[in-house]
Amino acid sequence: MQSMAVAVCMFVMGGCGMAYEYTLSKIASDILGNSVQQWAIVIALMLFCMGMGAELQRHVKDRKLIDTLAQSQAALALLGGFGSLAMLHVFSAFPSHFALVQYGLVSAIGTLIGFEIPLITRINEQFSADVKSNLARILKMDYIGALIGALLWVFVLFRYFSMVQTGLILALTTLLSTLGLVAAFRNRTENLGRLCASIVGVGVLVACGFLFEKPWTESAEQRLYRDRIIFSETSKYQHIVLTESHSGNIACYINGHLQFNSVDEHIYHEQLVHPAMQIARRRDNVLILGGGDGLALREVLKHPDVRSVTLVDLDPDMTELAAHNEHFVRLNQNSLASAKLHTLKNGAIVESGQATVTIGRSTEFDPDHTREVATVSVLNIDAAAFVAQVRGMYDVILVDFPDPNSVELAKLYSQHFYGFLRQRLNADGILVTQSTSPYHAKEVFLCVGRTMESAGLSVVPYHDNVPSFGEWGWWIGGRDSNTDASELRNRLTSLPDWAEPTQYLTPELVRASLSFGRNDLVTGENAVNTITNPCIHNYYLDAWKNRRGMM
C-alpha cells in the first residue's frame, strides 16, 4: 500500500507541477502580453528553482521526510492555489511591484516542486533499494503525470475554468494526494496531528477560495478599468470585458486591450468599411475576417447591392454575445440576428455560395423589410485556416483583427496570409485591413504595407483620429496585376457623395485621410512580416514600451 501511495503521489505531483507552470505562464501573459516571452521566462525560472529545491532537500533528515514533504506540499497548494488571484490583485493595486510578486511566486513554487522529487525518491528507497530501479520508478511516474497534467490543462482546465479556478483545483488535488501519502505513512510521521491540521487548514482556505473566487476576481478586475464592469467572461480563446461609463458609453476589451468604445466606434468602422465598398467595382460578395462584434457587418449591410456576406471569427462566444447581448445588439443594429437561423453540422465541409466553409450559421438581414435581403454566413473558424481552404472569390475583403500583440496574431499580418487573401480577391476586388496607429506604432503600420506589397498587392495607406485610440491607420489594396496604387488613390480622391447613411464619414474626409505628414511614411526598416520571422510583433512590443515610457 505504501509503495502504491508513493507512486500515486509522484504521478499527481508531476501533473500538478506541470499545470502550475502553465497556469502562472498564462496569467502572466494575459496581464503583461507577449505570451512567448512570458511562457519562456516563467518556465525557465521554475526549472532553475526546481534545481535549487533539489539541492535544499539534502538538509532534510531521514526521520523528517514525510513531515517535510507534507508541509512543503501544503505550502505549494497555498501558493499555487492563490497565485493567480494574488498576481491579479497586485497588478491592479500595485502594478509597479508586480514583477517582484510574479517572479517571487514563480521562484517559490518552482523550489517546492523541485523539493518534492528527491524527497519522494528517498522515501521510495525502502521499496526499491537499487538506485537504478528507484530513479526509474519515480521519474517514470513524474513524467507520465506531467504528460497527463499538460493534456488535462489544455483540454479541460483551460477550456472550462478560469486561471483562478484552475489554481484552486490544482491546490485541492495537491492536498488530497498529500493527505493520502500521510495516511499511508502515518507511522513514520513525527507529528501526525500537526500535519493533518496544516493540510486541513489549507484545505479550508482553498474551499473559501472556491466560495469567494468570483467576487474576489471581480474586485481585482474592476480596479483595472476606469468604468463599471457590466460583463466579464473567459471563452476558450480570450477574456472579454464590457464596461459602462456614467454617461452610458459601452467599451469592449479583449485580454485587457480596448476593442471599441461606443462613443466613437463609428469613426473606426466607417473608415474600415466604406472607402473600400465605395471604390469596389462590385459588392456582391463580401468577406469580413474578425469583426465578431458585428459592427463592421452593420456598415457593410448599409449597401443595398450586397448579396452575400461571410463573417469569419474564431470565437463562437464573441459572435453569440454580439447576436444576443443587449448592448452589442443596440450598437450593431441587430446585424447578427435573423428570423431564419440554422447551424451547420460541426466539422462538416459544406458549400456556401462559391465558398467551401466549416462550421457556422447563415442569416438573412433586412432591418426595414423593404429590399432584397443579403445572406450573412457567420463562421467560427481560424481565419488563416479559412482563407487557405476556401474556394470562393470575393469582391471586398475587410480585415478587422486585433493588433499583432502576440505571435499568434502576428501570423494574420504575414506575407503568407496576405498571399492567400490575394488569391481570394476577384480580379478587380478590394482589400482593406486595420493596421494599428501610424503615430504610436509607426513601424508596425509601415510593416503591414510592406508585407501586403510583398504578397502581390498594390496598397495605399490612410488614417484618421479615433479619440479612444488616437491616430489610427488602414491599408487599402487590390491585386497589383489589375489595380495599381495610383488608380486606387484616384478612385479614393474622386468619390462622389453616397446615399448610404454614415454618422461621420464623407468623401471629403476620405480624401483628407490620404494625406500624411512629410516624414510619417519614412523609415529605415525594410523587413517583411513572415510566419518564420514575425518582426511585426517585435515592432509592436517596441512601440508599446516607448509609448508607456512617454505616459
Q: Hey, which residues does 323 pair with through a beta bridge?
A: none
What span, in angstroms and rounded, lies between the C-alpha atoms of 6 and 14?
A: 12
Number of other residues whose CB lies within 10 A of the CB of residue 51: 12
Nearest-5° Cα angle at 124, 118 to 130? 100
What span, in angstroms and rounded, lies between the C-alpha atoms of 89 and 91?
A: 5
Establish whether 400 is a catalytic residue: yes
What span, in angstroms and rounded, lies between the C-alpha atoms of 174 and 178?
A: 6
What span, in angstroms and rounded, lies between the C-alpha atoms of 19 and 157?
A: 9
What span, in angstroms and rounded, lies between the C-alpha atoms of 117 and 125?
A: 13
> 525: alpha, beta or left, given left = phi > 0 and alpha = psi -120 to 50?
beta
Which distant-in-sequence residues (6+ apart) come within 8 Å of 359 by Cβ?
344, 346, 347, 348, 379, 380, 381
What span, in angstroms and rounded, lies between the C-alpha atoms of 549 and 537?
A: 18
Of 293, 313, 400, 403, catalytic: 400
Cell of 316: 463562437
What CA–CA distances, in Å, run from 6 to 177, 180, 251, 492? 10, 9, 52, 73
CA dihedral (302, 421, 411, 447) in degrees, to 10, reads: -90
CA torsion sign for 434, 436, 439, 443 is negative
Residue type, 501: P
What span, in angstroms and rounded, lies between the C-alpha atoms of 380 and 364?
A: 18
Task: Write the DSSP assignment of 359-417 as a string of letters.
Answer: S-EEEEE-TTS-SPPEEEEEE-S-HHHHHHH----EEEEEEEPPPS-SHHHHGGGSHHH
Positions annotated as catalytic residues are: 400
